[in-house]
Amino acid sequence: MTERPRREVPDPRRRLPTAVDPKDLGRRARRAIAGGQPTVPIGLRGQESGPTDSHTRLVIDLGLRVGEALLSTGSSAADTTNAVLRLTRAYDVRSLHVDITYTSLIVSHHRGVLRDPITVMRIVPVLQQDFTRLERLQRLVRDAEDGTLEITDAHDRLDEITSTEHPYSRFIVTLASAMLGAAIAALLSGDLLLVVLSALTTAVVDRTVRFLGRRGVAAFFCQAVGAAIPTMVAVVLYFMANNLQVEMFSNLRPSVVVASGVVVLLAGLSAVGAAQDTIDGYYLTAAAKTFEVLILSGGIVAGVLSVLALAQQIGIDIAISSTLTFSTNPAIGVLCAAAITCSFAIGSYSGGRTVLLSTAVGALAWVAYYLLTEANASVQWSAGFASLLIGALATLMGWRLRVPSLAIATAAIVPLLPGLTVYRGIFELVNIRSDMMQGAATLFGAVMIGLAIASGITLGSLPGRLSRPDDVLTKRRVKVLDTLS
């Protein structure tokens, strides 16, 4: 019987082959340590072999004009930049840089070292919410991407968009403002007479602010005058009820009229756009918008404060109703929230589909807000969660149904705005019998509600915006662009 050969057992202490090249070990180590290619393109070469000068200038002029129109109708800085880049890429003009600083827009095309760059700047003359034009501009960009629109036809279509009349007359817009004030008064449990007075007062505020604005009066003073009008109405009602003993006004709560006017004035501010620009990284534009919101809010405070102080000086000691809260009837609350959203959407020149979608989202958000407050959640948390729901639904519907998500979100948050809290804080500041620190704390609470609303809107829209397939800025953040090479 033959003996089996003995198998050699390798030494466990031997980790490397007998013959190891030190250079090979170094290469392996470098491969294990080294990272991948940069995900954000920097220092890229210009588009030296691009289209002709005449075509390039036509495309850049179109992108610049579309960007100006988007900014002037209420679009955010990120959405405007994205739209300009998508539009110019559709006409084969790449290596483009877009810079937005609140009211200025710069588009620069770097064409390498052998060709002169093209840099153009435009100043946005006016900022006004016009969501019908915004929707048409977004549709123009989509048609250009689909390849169904020649460059000269795109210029003609842009001229048509910017020169087309508003979908609603000024009378309809004023009527929508009146309905907005009436719905807010009803939401604050006001009776029929207060609802009618709030509607008439809001209509007067709308016409007065527009009249002053068209004659060059600064926006701060326009807001102050607009806030002073409902406050004067409240002072007159209080004087007639308590000093003249008019029975008709004895059971009225004048604070409802003031709160309605304050909410209407707050609704026109761009707090959502400021928060969105902050999250998107446009800090300079966001800082300018935030400062504008603070200044215009200060105008509202100054208007109400001046009238209340004057009333106290002449002996009219107006008091705020301590029971002034939102209606506890859920059906009335939902109907009023829907009416508020619908009327603001019409006042912002939204299209028919946008008005219907905004109304539905606003009513649904109010249901969420009501349920959270009934569960003893704080006003800030309730408003923040409702706003998060608005942001998510607005982004989803805007992308799927081809309507401006900004229009839906801006209109749907109006019922959540802290107009009542602002008025209560102002009254506590001017009332000599109250503690001024209490008034400051109340106003700070109103600021926190506003921050919760803006943060909720931005956070809710973030997943949908990052997953949009047409977002050029998002693509730039996640992979290297190979279209410029």
Half-sphere exposure of 485 (CA within 13 A, CB side): 5
17 or 181, which is more confident?
A: 181
Q: According to the model, what pLDDT value does residue 97 have?
A: 87
pLDDT confidence bin for 321, thresholds 50/70/90: low
Q: According to the model, what pLDDT value does residue 471 have?
A: 54
User: Is the pLDDT confidence value at 279 over 90?
Assistant: no
Average pLDDT over residues 206-211: 92
User: Is the pLDDT confidence value at 477 over 50?
Assistant: no
Q: According to the model, what pLDDT value does residue 482 have?
A: 40
pLDDT confidence bin for 481, thresholds 50/70/90: very low
User: Is the pLDDT confidence value at 201 over 70?
Assistant: yes
Compute the C-alpha angle 135/138/143, nearest 5°.
125
Average pLDDT over residues 396-419: 85
Question: How do residues 6-15 score in pLDDT, each as one tens digit?
Answer: 555 555 555 5
User: Is the pLDDT confidence value at 179 over 50?
Assistant: yes
Q: According to the model, what pLDDT value does residue 468 have?
A: 60
Question: How do residues 325-339 score in pLDDT, each as one tens digit?
Answer: 777 788 999 999 999
pLDDT confidence bin for 478, thresholds 50/70/90: very low
Q: According to the model, what pLDDT value does residue 455 have?
A: 82
pLDDT confidence bin for 1, thresholds 50/70/90: very low
Question: How do residues 219-252 score in pLDDT, each as one tens digit?
Answer: 899 999 999 999 999 888 888 887 777 777 777 7
Average pLDDT over residues 199-227: 92
420 or 406, which is more confident?
A: 406
